[in-house]
Structure 1
Amino acid sequence: MNLPNSLTIARLFLIPLLVVVLLTRFPNKEFIAVAIFLAASFTDWADGYVARRRREVTTLGTWLDPVADKLLVASTFIALVEMGLAPAWMVVILIGRELAVTGLRNVALAKGFSIHVSGMGKVKMATQVFAITSLILGTQFSFLGLLGRLALWLAIFLAIVSAVQYCRQFWLQVGVPEKSSRFREPVLSLRKHPEGDVPTQR
């Protein structure tokens, strides 16, 4: 197994550890949780960078990397809802968006093309990382809690806009379906007539 895939798998192993730390009561757990979360987020950048730099992009890595990203963010947000640090409806929107985009990508792959990550999607991911970090530390520093809630609203906006971009990219690749047969233009045909062949429409 190459280094980029090893980093991705390491991120997967950090997810349950992060959730346990968040949901367990002990002094200064917030700092440990943030350290684990940022380390996992760093591997998200590092695995892609190393794979491109060393030309070690693999099918496994291409599939596993976005799955690990979504599991990390979704698991952390769900833990924050349990802790009362994030509204459940916001988390539902963010996770629902991730599932919808993943579904589009899977359909695209089945049709033989891929949907590339947009710039807006990358900004959305960075905003989510900032929001999660601020919300966790907000239990110790109130001003960070406020920043985290504002960042969460921004993440919602970016999630919706980037989802629309992905849908547009998908439909541009798939193409517009053909017109229904009942909207077809009239076709001229010839029918027999006592006075000769007469064109008719059908």
Structure 2
Amino acid sequence: MNIPNILTMIRIVCIPLLVVIFYLPVDWAHWAAGLIFAAAGITDWFDGYLARKLDQSTPFGAFLDPVADKLMVAVALGLLIEVYNTPLMTLPALVIIGREIVISALREWMAEIGKRKSVAVSYIGKLKTTLQMIAIFALLAFAPESAFGLVGVVLLYLAAILTLWSMWKYLKAAWPEMSQSL
């Protein structure tokens, strides 16, 4: 166990904490849930940085880090879908969750055939993730009708658009391999 992997494990442990805090019957619950989500996003960046800087990348960390990220995002988006109960929140959230499932499966398949590098994380994917994290933080911490909440809604839609665009780019990059397997 190294520091980056410990940070990733902490993110996973924070998922049930996020849910419990979000549903607490206190005024500060959503704000605290937003802070937990933001802290998870920061540790995500930090564990990757440390893994590279300290040369502590491991196969376990390479597997667990994206799992932790996808779990945290999917749970947070699920909370937003449930609490706001509106197509406004449901549509972009399901686009983001669906894309994560498709691209995870695509990367797994491409790795299995030795072509994982052709679907490596791109700049668009990183931008999508950044917008998505800021949007989810804003929507967890603030009501969607507040100024910060409205910014969160706009950023969530921008993230959903980038989600579709990046998915298209990954599928396009993988198409030569996919078409040979049909």
Instruction: Tell whether the structures are fold-level matches, with TM greater than 0.5.
Output: yes
1:148-194 residue CA offsets vs partner (Å, 9 max, x unmatched): 1111110110000000111122235x27539xxxxxxxxxxxxxxxx
TM-score, reference length from structure 1: 0.82
Q: Within 2, Cα distance between the matches of 1:133 and 1:108?
A: 32
Displacement after TM superposition at 1:146 (Å): 1.1
Displacement after TM superposition at 1:89 (Å): 2.6
Label 1:31 to 1:141 Cα distance change in 2 as closer, same or farther (>3 A). farther
**Which residue of structure 1 lines up, in the alignment, with residue 109 of structure 2?**
107
Displacement after TM superposition at 1:2 (Å): 0.9
Q: Within 2, Cα distance between the matches of 1:77 and 1:176?
A: 33
1:25 aligns with 2:25: yes
Question: Does the 8 A contact of 2:30 with 2:142 survive in 1?
Answer: no
Aligned residues: CA RMSD: 2.0
Structure 1 segment 143-162 matched on structure 2, within 5 A: 143-162=147-166
Q: Within 2, Cα distance between the matches of 1:87 and 1:67?
A: 23
1:28-67 residue CA offsets vs partner (Å, 9 max, x unmatched): 1122112211111111101111011111111111111111
The worse-fitting range, judged by mean Cα deviation, of 79-88 and 64-73 is 79-88
**Which residue of structure 1 lines up, in the alignment, with residue 79 of structure 2?**
79
Label 1:29 to 1:141 Cα distance change in 2 as closer, same or farther (>3 A). farther
**Which residue of structure 2 lines up, in the alignment, with residue 139 of structure 1?**
143
Displacement after TM superposition at 1:90 (Å): 2.2
**Which residue of structure 2 lines up, in the alignment, with residue 14 of structure 1?**
14
Task: Work out which structure has the larger RCO, using CA pairs closer than 8 Å and 6 or more positions apart in sequence.
Answer: 2
Question: Does the 8 A contact of 1:23 with 1:83 survive in 2?
Answer: no
Displacement after TM superposition at 1:141 (Å): 7.5
Q: Within 1, Cα distance between the matches of 2:25 and 2:103?
A: 35
Runs of 4+ aligned structure 1 residues displaced above 3 Å come to none
Letter in 1 for 2:138: S
Letter in 1 for 2:170: Y
Question: Does the 8 A contact of 2:33 with 2:141 survive in 1?
Answer: no
The answer to which structure has the higher helix fraction is 2
- Would you say how many aligned residue pairs link Structure 1 and Structure 2? 178
Question: Does the 8 A contact of 1:23 with 1:79 survive in 2?
Answer: no
Q: Within 1, Cα distance between the matches of 2:151 and 2:144?
A: 13
Q: Between Structure 1 and Structure 2, whose CA radius of gyration is higher?
A: 1
Counterpart selection for 1:119 from 120, 123, 130? 123
Q: Within 1, Cα distance between the matches of 2:73 and 2:179?
A: 34
The worse-fitting range, judged by mean Cα deviation, of 85-94 and 57-66 is 85-94
Counterpart selection for 1:89 from 74, 88, 91? 91
> Identity percentage over the alignment?
38
Question: Does the 8 A contact of 2:128 with 2:159 survive in 1?
Answer: yes
Q: Please, which runs of 5 or more residues in structure 1 have no aligned partner?
A: 179-202
